[in-house]
Amino acid sequence: MTTETGFENRINTRSRSSDLRITDLRVAKLEGVPMRHTIIRIDTNQGISGWGEARDQSSVNYVLMLKSRLLGENPCNIEKVFRKIRQFGGPGRQGGGVSGVEMALLDLAGKAYDVPAWLLAGGKYRDRILVYADTEEQRDPEAMGAKLLAREQQGFKMLKMDIGLSMLWDVPGAVIAPPRERTRRPKDLPFTMHPFTGTHITKIGVDHIADYVRRVRDVVGYELPIAADHFGYMDVDSCIRLARALEPYALEWLEDLIPWQFTQQWRQLTESIATPTCTGEDIYLAEGFKPLLDAQAIRIAHPDPASAGGIMETKRIGDLAQPYGIPMALHLAATPIATMASVAIGASTENFLALEFHAADVGDWASLVTGLPETIIEDGYITVPDGPGLGFEGINEEAFRARLDASDPLFFSETAHWDSEWSYDRPWG
**427 is a domain residue:** no
Comparing C-alpha atoms, which of 283, 292, 287 is closest to residue 264? 292
Average confidence (pLDDT) over 146-156: 97
**3 is a domain residue:** no
Of residues 184 and 247, the one with the higher pLDDT is: 247
Q: Are residues 129 and 105 in the same domain?
A: no
Average confidence (pLDDT) over 36-44: 93
pLDDT > 80? residue 371: yes
pLDDT bin (cut points 50, 70, 90) of residue 87 is very high
pLDDT > 80? residue 190: no
Q: What is the pLDDT of residue 72?
A: 96
Q: What is the pLDDT of residue 421?
A: 84
**6 is a domain residue:** no
Average pLDDT of the chain to the nearest whole number: 92
- Cα separation, 121 vs 283, in Å, equals 21
pLDDT bin (cut points 50, 70, 90) of residue 12 is low
Q: Are residues 144 and 64 in the same domain?
A: no
Of residues 71 and 403, the one with the higher pLDDT is: 71
Q: Are residues 387 and 410 in the same domain?
A: no
CATH code (residue 101):
3.30.390.10
Domain count, the chain: 2
CATH code (residue 146):
3.20.20.120
**7 is a domain residue:** no
* C-alpha Rg value of the chain to the nearest Å: 22
Q: What is the pLDDT of residue 320?
A: 98
Q: Are 285 and 308 in contact (CB under 8 A)?
A: yes
pLDDT above 70 coverage of the chain, percent = 92
Q: What is the pLDDT of residue 404?
A: 73
Q: Are residues 59 and 128 in the same domain?
A: no
Residue 14: CB atoms within 10 A of its CB come to 17
Domain containing residue 375 = 120-391
- Cα separation, 131 vs 358, in Å, equals 10
pLDDT > 90? residue 407: no
Q: Are 209 and 163 in contact (CB under 8 A)?
A: yes
Q: What is the pLDDT of residue 288?
A: 97
Q: Are residues 145 and 247 in the same domain?
A: yes
- For residue range 43-61, what is the model confidence (pLDDT) as tens digits? 999 999 999 999 876 678 8
Q: Are residues 220 and 326 in the same domain?
A: yes
Q: What is the DSSP string of 265-313?
A: HHHHHHHH-SS-EEE-TT--SHHHHHHHHHTT--SEE---HHHHTSHHH
**1 is a domain residue:** no
Q: Are 169 and 182 in contact (CB under 8 A)?
A: yes
Average confidence (pLDDT) over 392-417: 84
pLDDT > 60? residue 10: no
Residue 206: CB atoms within 10 A of its CB come to 19
pLDDT bin (cut points 50, 70, 90) of residue 186 is low
Q: Are residues 70 and 175 in the same domain?
A: no
| Cα 371 off chain centre by | 22
pLDDT > 60? residue 15: no
**263 is a domain residue:** yes
Average confidence (pLDDT) over 155-181: 95
**425 is a domain residue:** no
Q: Are residues 96 and 140 in the same domain?
A: no
H or E segment to which residue 50 belongs: strand 49-54
Of residues 13 and 353, the one with the higher pLDDT is: 353
Q: What is the DSSP string of 178-194?
A: -HHHHH--TT-SS---G
pLDDT bin (cut points 50, 70, 90) of residue 22 is very high
Average confidence (pLDDT) over 147-161: 97
Q: Are residues 217 and 247 in the same domain?
A: yes
Q: Are 394 and 172 in contact (CB under 8 A)?
A: no
Q: What is the pLDDT of residue 231?
A: 95
State pTM to two decimals.
0.93
**267 is a domain residue:** yes
- For residue range 311-327, what is the model confidence (pLDDT) as tens digits? 999 999 999 999 999 99
Q: Are residues 147 and 35 in the same domain?
A: no
Q: Are residues 261 and 382 in the same domain?
A: yes
Q: Are 327 and 300 in contact (CB under 8 A)?
A: yes
Q: Are residues 103 and 137 in the same domain?
A: no
